[in-house]
Structure 1
Amino acid sequence: MYVIHVPDMKCGGCLGAVTRAIRTVDEAARVEADLERREIRVSSGETEAAILQVVREAGYQAEPTSAPAL
């Protein structure tokens, strides 16, 4: 599971866009979010680099974090 900080993700619409972007590379990806902390937790067979890339391509900043998954 990857924990990714997405500082400009502010609402459910943003989360939907991020989730759709991730599912373009892994349809089975599981995405959970903490909008208050602006973090997503992603379970995917894809690499963290691939996930970060598609989130960034969708127009969002995205950085890996060492925060523990909730």
Structure 2
Amino acid sequence: MIGWTSVLFAIQSYLAETPEQKETSSTPGYFGVLMSFMAVGVAYMPLFLPPPGGRGGGVGTGTEAAGAVPQ
């Protein structure tokens, strides 16, 4: 939700940029728009590239109790 809001604000600031602001700014206005789209893309990345092993892939986190000692 916050990522999409940043996209809207970046587009709005890019469209409202004056010629004087374009001359004095250190980065172009479209750079902020591209960065906000990239932030949204990174936020949605787990949907398209799930982490290896998926959910509960049988690999513990190392915080479980120790197993029984075989006798």
Larger radius of gyration: 2
Normalised-by-shorter TM-score class: under 0.3
Q: Of the two structures, which has the highest relative contact order with CA contacts closer than 8 Å and spacing of 6 or more?
A: 1
* Structure that is richer in strand per residue: 1
**TM-score, normalising length: structure 2:** 0.24
TM-score by length of 1: 0.24
